[in-house]
């Protein structure tokens, strides 16, 4: 299931809107995650059901929505500005696009439990199982810590990885402060991508694309 094209468009709209606003204090601020991985996903479902996209965005790992917008052609300066000033507006647009597109499976879904955490490069990730009203159970990944947050790259890595390598290759060859900042922040999503690559319910091609993206990100490490 490739839901990413529609989501990426919403991300780009969000990041461009934030740039036009000048990144001022009127943009929503990420203030906290859930009390537990299950609670974070339950809160996400409730916010999506009520079209509370800013609140849903507040549950995401900060910075990941800005990085994901590279997949749709956001400029390096736009992404870097969102990383410096906060990407809550972009994250809200991500969830708005998700709710309107292929993410409908989360509508009124129930949380049925969480697996034991997996740890990759000192990052703790929890797979939370959700049961849609119709269809098979799905997993949403939550990054652990004092305030668990939805991890976009672990949850949707298969939809992101096929559209990001070209941008990352340009980043590697671009010697600017913006490019260096983005590459530094991309390194933080490598553990998430490794977990995404380990999911056995996706095509082999998707796994290969995720691992290719990891190889590019870590090339400059």
Instruction: Give the model confidence (pLDDT) of 137-154 as tens digits.
Output: 999 999 998 899 999 999
- The predicted model scores a pTM of 0.85
Identify which of 106, 104, 128 has the alpha carbon closest to the alpha carbon of residue 115.
128
Of 109 and 27, more confident: 109
pLDDT at 181 over 50: yes
**CA dist., res. 52 & res. 56, Å (int):** 6
The boundaries of the domain holding residue 56 are 4-218
**CA dist., res. 32 & res. 58, Å (int):** 6
In Å, how far from its chain's centre is CA 123?
Answer: 15
Of 151 and 201, more confident: 151
Q: Is 59 helix (H, G, I), strand (E, B) or coil?
A: coil
Q: Answer whether 123's CB lies under 8 Å from 192's CB.
A: yes
- The mean pLDDT of 57-80, rounded to a whole number, is 93
**Terminal CA-to-CA distance of the chain, rounded, Å?**
32
As given in the structure block, the two tokens for residue 220 are: 């400059």
Count of domains for the chain = 1
- The mean pLDDT of 121-143, rounded to a whole number, is 93
Q: What is the pLDDT of residues 4-60, one digit of tens each?
A: 334 444 444 444 443 334 444 333 333 455 689 999 999 999 999 999 999 999 999
* Chain position carrying tokens 């990426």: 8
- The mean pLDDT of 106-125, rounded to a whole number, is 91
- The mean pLDDT of 67-78, rounded to a whole number, is 91
Distances in Å between the Cα of 10 and the Cα atoms of 3, 54, 181 are 12, 14, 23
- The mean pLDDT of 193-198, rounded to a whole number, is 96
**Mean pLDDT score across all residues of the chain:** 85
Q: Answer whether 171's CB lies under 8 Å from 76's CB.
A: yes
């Amino acid at each position: 299931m490739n839901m990413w094209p529609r989501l990426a468009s919403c991300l780009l709209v969000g990041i461009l809107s934030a740039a036009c606003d000048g990144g001022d204090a009127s943009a929503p601020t990420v203030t906290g995650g859930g009390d537990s991985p299950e609670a974070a996903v339950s809160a996400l479902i409730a916010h999506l059901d009520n079209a509370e996209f800013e609140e849903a965005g507040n549950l995401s790992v900060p910075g990941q929505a800005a990085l994901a917008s590279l997949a749709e052609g956001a400029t390096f300066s736009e992404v870097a500005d969102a990383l410096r000033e906060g990407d809550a507006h972009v994250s809200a647009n991500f969830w708005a696009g998700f709710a309107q597109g292929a993410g409908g499976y989360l509508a009124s879904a129930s949380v049925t439990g969480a697996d034991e955490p997996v740890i990759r490069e000192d990052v703790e990730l929890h797979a939370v199982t959700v049961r849609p009203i119709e269809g098979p159970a799905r997993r949403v990944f939550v990054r652990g810590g004092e305030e668990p947050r939805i991890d976009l790259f672990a949850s949707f890595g298969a939809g992101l990885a096929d559209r990001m390598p070209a941008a990352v290759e340009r980043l590697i060859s671009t010697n600017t402060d913006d490019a260096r900042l983005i590459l530094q922040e991309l390194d933080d999503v490598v553990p998430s991508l490794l977990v995404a690559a380990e999911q056995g319910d996706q095509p082999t091609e998707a796994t290969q694309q995720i691992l290719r993206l990891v190889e590019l990100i870590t090339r400059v490490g």
